[in-house]
Structure 1
Amino acid sequence: MHGFDVKYDNWFWHGEEIRKSSSPQRENHFQQQNIEFDNGNELEMVNDAYKGCCGDPKAFKELLEQAEKPLYLGCTKFTKLSFLVKLFNVKGRFGWSDSSVSALLSVLADAFPKNNEIPTSMYEAKKTMSALGLEYVKIHACPNDCILYRKEYEGLLECPTCGLCRWKKKDGTVDQYRKGVPAKTLWYFPPIPRFKRMFQSSETARDLTWHANERMVDGKLRHPADSPSWKLVDEKWPIFASDPRNLRLALSADGINPHSSLSSTYSCWPIILITYNLPPWLCMKRKFMMLSLLISGPQQPGLDIDVYLQPLIEDLQTLWDVGVEAYDAYKNEYFNLRAVLLWTINDFPAYGNLAGCTVKGYYACPYCGVETPKCRLKHSGKNVYIGHRLWLPHGHKFRFQAKAFDNSVCDETPPKLLNGEEIFQLVDSIDNRWGKSNSKKRKSANNDDLVWWKKKSIFYNLEYWKHLLVRHQLDVMHIEKNVCKNIYGTLLHIPEKSKDGLKSRMDLLEMKIRPTLAPQVKGNNNRTWLPPACHTLTKEEKVRFCAALKSIKVPTRYSSNIRNLVSKKDFKLQGLKSHDCRVLMQQLLPIVVRCVLPKHVKEAIIRFCFFFNSLCGTVIDVTMLDELEKNIVETLCLLEKCFPPSFFDIMVHLTIHLVSEVRQCGPVYFR
């Protein structure tokens, strides 16, 4: 866990390349070793450059010297530093133990010519690399996610909340004097030293002020700096905004399976910080995504994720309240570095964990809250979210078309959206209780107003959090993937993915809408027959649908090979990743459905596809957002006239709020 895994090394390195700027051979050498470098992104090998280092200046100077020493006399391919970087990458990729690497180093030191620079043990190798500032902290945690063993709990042997032992038991006993393996561990990678190190590269330090010095300002949204959320920080805290070097951050969290096994239930949660000061072509690069927390499994933390966020939130508080001293290599001066967290980026289940709101049931929409338009389907046994006519203008013709929708005329208004301060007043009375052993997570004096809030989020410890326009972002790609699966699963009638079936038709009968689609019993064997709906494809049309996808060729690395994901035998699409669903939704689906569906159905689907295509543009014209928001409301209403209510899960409903987030936060691809 030293940050040299080939898959995750850039999270830890954070663009801090060390190379000799005057040697072209040196640059070619690093390129041969598969180490990423940007032209001009170098550390000044002078006293002023390493004086501002977050660690020991002497150690940093020694590290620069290691970057120039050949591995052995006459070696032109490796220096001591590049050899160790390569070795650590291989160690992380294949999971070598420290003892095995020490044994390998010992053999290599004997095999290579005398007076070589190969360390003889893993300890010496780590000591050499420690000057890079890749330090981390291992914090023990309760297996039930009740507490972290830090501060007042640091010396405890068992959790004061649930009573579980801090250590893994061996033979059913725990030796209090010979402490063993902790039951659960949090890996914390402090961000402050790495923020300071970013400014030690003159090129990176210059890029971190791009938003103030080089950004095009023409009223269009090209960068988060063009958004009202960014400008709110500038207006409300002008002292913070006066120095463009102060960082604007985003936080992303999601569960991953590090064991690369789809059948495994192990869930490990990395927490990533993203820096928005950089220009668009660098902002979302992997080398500038900083791993700050790694929450080990096997179970996901759920609502108790706040317990693990404590050390990171404390550092963010420090960066906001007082700041830290940092050295700017571009301007050759010291300055007080501060930072603000603008929002979090998560898929929808993780959205609920970080925000503390419910993401399923009657109040699943975090924007609409208790006024979420919902309906419970008796036979399907699930909640659906229909009634998007609320967002139409008064007098719109759809409001009066009762028979085409739910046999009622709509004269209601859309739900009132709460701002951050109003939400804070609601959740401020919640008494958080952490841990899997606590069945009741919260207590409140006013439970009736908190049916859609489960906790007071730890992010409200940040002074500015309640004043931000948008605190938690909806993941557009996650929503788009689910919407795409709903569409092609229903059209091809894929088992377990189709939203139209016997239970769905029984719900239509229960709701007394579209009686022509009611199930019918026919024949001597009393088999149930479902009349074809307007979106139902015949076998011939399914063949044409799949054949059209099979015939599509895309450029290399544009997406997966779509032809390999289509099965003409059983009319299925299998193995689509998130990006494949994006390509299918925005580019391919409008082509495929135009010749197999009735006009009003294909128009509704194509409008939906064009909506996502326009929403995900790199340059957003603000004057077009009102029209885009109007179009998505009408599109959802058209879909309600075509598809059964079971089609409209929470993911379909959330699309109505995506335009508002783009208007307030900028282009989607930054999120």
Structure 2
Amino acid sequence: MAPSKQWMQLVDNRLDEIYLIGVQKFLNNAFQKTGEEHEIRCPCVKCYNTTLGTRKTVETHLQIHGIIRNYTFWYHHGERLGEPLSESEHEDEDENVIEECESEDEVEELLRDLYPNLDGGTTHTGCDDFLEEEPNVEARKFYSLLKDFECPLYKNSKASKLSTLIKLLHIKSMGHWSNASFTMLLKMLKEELLPDGANLLNSYYEAKKIIQELGLSYKKIDACTNDCMLYWKDDSLLDSCKSFDELHPSFAVEPRNVRLGLASDGFQPFRNSKTSRSIWPVVLIPYNLPPWLCMKQEKFILSMLIPGPNGPGDAIDTYLQPLIEEWKELWEVGIETYDASTKQNFKLHASLLWTINDFPAYENLSGWSTKGKLACPCFNKDTSSIRLTKGKKQCFMGHRRYLSQNHKWRSEKGSFDGIVEKRPPPKVNHFSDETYGSLQFYREFAQSHENARHLSDAEWSRQFIAWFKDRVAQLHKQDDSQIMEDLLSLSRGPTKYSTHSNGYVVNGYRFHVEDYDNKLRTQNCGVVVLGENDEDSENLDYYGVLRDVIELQFVMDRRVILFRCNWFDVYDEIKGVKKDEYDFVGK
């Protein structure tokens, strides 16, 4: 419980016994709450809590200069929000004083919310081993606002400079005043109503600077007229959007063409029914309308309903065929439409921009399985997951991969899964035509095998290889292109025999295995794989030593060369790779 602060009102009569006793109680409370033994911040009107002093020094300053009258919440001296006050704190105060204190407390809470990491405590550690430092940028802003809060509007004023400014700006906002009228009010108050030397700002421009430090400012960001992107960050210098309209200029040239979004999800239509039923509405959203209209219920287009005893699941594309057929017609051919505003006929086309759905419905609409260890569509095989042995559930781990390489949590085993995390963040999977083709085979295999999701890795590989071999053979009968020839050779697998050699020439570069290189003066056994550029993580290159060169033979005279290497741990600064002053890499 904080001691009574009524003695602070006697700052103009500092020889009064009540004031002197209050100073002693304040010092006792401050040293007890802060845990300091030697020095605390001095709250006199000269030091303004910016300098440290011994008990005797602070006591002398409070008697000579007086304490800051508005410093009623002793956050520099150990008091915390919600701490009860002494019973005699407000006994002799009238209602106006109470209201004023409550108003000041609201400003204090605002500062607390704005800078939660700065508790206002002393920076003195009580140990000579630590050197004092200048406050950082955020701390300087905090102390600047704190000084305005502790600074009275004028001598003997119960309101501070900061709280008065916030109230005036609040009245300006509620009354819809112009900036010019607010500046006129400030000048009138300062020149005609307030006493000389009042700490009131002169204009709205100066007040706006303080509001920005309070975090109440705003920043304008331009957006595309089609609501497809923000001109922000790397796109801040663009004059127009660069995606859909550039890819399809013939569609973009006609502003009356319709741009659609699709949303779908299933639900039980009969809440109390014992019979299981499911219904999937497929809703289209027209994005030609303004943002405040396109998401209104009456503007939605209910294109189709898919009812049944169970949800359609991954087979929803079967039920979407009529809708897809209409989309193809609207996109490729268009439909003759009458424009009532211009009284002219024109060819209307439509496009589907995106789908809106939750994660389970995403699986149904896209065909990507959102269950199992490869549930993430962005990271694919780099998804970090484990299966709980007792819960029998898939658990997604590896969140420490997104931290910087020197973050202390990467080395903490006990707080996480018992291992040191050295892996870089996973790369986002950007689908190429080849990747998409591979996914089509995986999807087709999963749909044709009901138990595919429950197979182990080894069983999945065994069954997929057999299925892939037969499937490619069927496709090869209908397509004899070069790509299909390569795919057929790959599906057959390599022969049982492989060729090993001591060296190989790749793109004009000669490589030797390490054992062979030991006999030569020049060394060609080093291998490096350049890391991909990633703005969110450190660009790492991987170094190794070539141990063996293996040549695999496939049917139809196809072959693949493999390098077997020993790789260095690039994350270990001691055992890993090192670079000398000439930027050469060594062990």
State the TM bucket, normalised to the shorter chain. 0.3 to 0.5
Which is helix-richer, 1 or 2?
1
Structure index of larger Rg = 2
TM-score by length of 2: 0.36
TM-score of the superposed pair, with normalisation by structure 1? 0.32
